Amino acid sequence: MSSTTLATLTGSTMPMPPVSAEQPPAPASERAYTHVKELVLTETLPGGAMVSEGDIAARLSMSRTPVREAFLRLETEGWLRLYPKRGALVVPVAAGEAQAVVDARLLLEVHAVEALRHRDDRERLQDRLRASIDQQRAALDRGDIDAYAEHDTEFHLTIVAAGGNPLLTSFYVTLRERQRRMVARSLWRDESRARDFVSQHEHLAQAVGAGAVAEFKVALRRHLDHAHLPERAAEAVDAR
């Protein structure tokens, strides 16, 4: 078990998540949950690191009780493993998880496109995807990789949501969280790869509009395999 702690990873000046002046602050347990989960998803707290209730409570200027509630929630979701009187272990990315995410995303996105039986539905989705592609390209043109990543997420979530199954859409969101963590550990910041992804998104949108499900599936498999190469490379390094 790693002895890495939050303090050694981030120092004592880690910025706090902003609180909107227009809305009342979220409950303390919710703020602690959001804060710690963000640290995990961005790999600020990498897999194998230990974090304590006291550390988070001090950083967020709150008691340990809401932090404990947040830790229990994160353990239920599979992000942390709790050890009484020792703290919480950040659960490492499991071997093979990148491929499992690819397989699950492929099933969900293809299922959503198959569910679009009417031409009008396919064309409406195609229009939304093209609007997202325009936003992706604009973000890259101004050098904003973070904004591009948000639009990329929106692009694929739009496909799944178009299938009309809220349970599958909710499950897909959890997959995107796992992918976000894996992307963070692979340190993907390559603009040229992102532009390749935009071109692949255009192909996917064309297949949706044409109702070409088989073509969409082949193109999506190629796209996801390409997108997840860094995560699989990171898994291979960890396995050595």
Q: Tokens standing for 195?
A: 């532009």
**Number of neighbouring beta carbons within 10 Å of residue 167:** 7
Burial of residue 70 (number of CB atoms within 10 Å: 0-12, 13-18, 19+): buried
Q: Work out the angle at residue 73's Cα, subtended by the Cα atoms of residues 54 and 112, and round it to the nearest 5 degrees.
A: 140
Q: Which domains does the chain have, with CATH numbers?
A: 6-90 (1.10.10.10), 97-239 (1.20.120.530)
Cα gap 19→112, rounded to integer Å: 36
The model's pLDDT over 25-48, given as tens digits with 9 standing for 90+, comes to 789 999 999 999 999 988 889 999
**Low pLDDT (below 70) residues in the chain:** 1-23, 183-189, 229-240
Burial of residue 231 (number of CB atoms within 10 Å: 0-12, 13-18, 19+): buried
The model's pLDDT over 117-132, given as tens digits with 9 standing for 90+, comes to 999 999 999 999 999 9
What three-state secondary structure class fits 228? coil
pTM, full prediction:
0.69
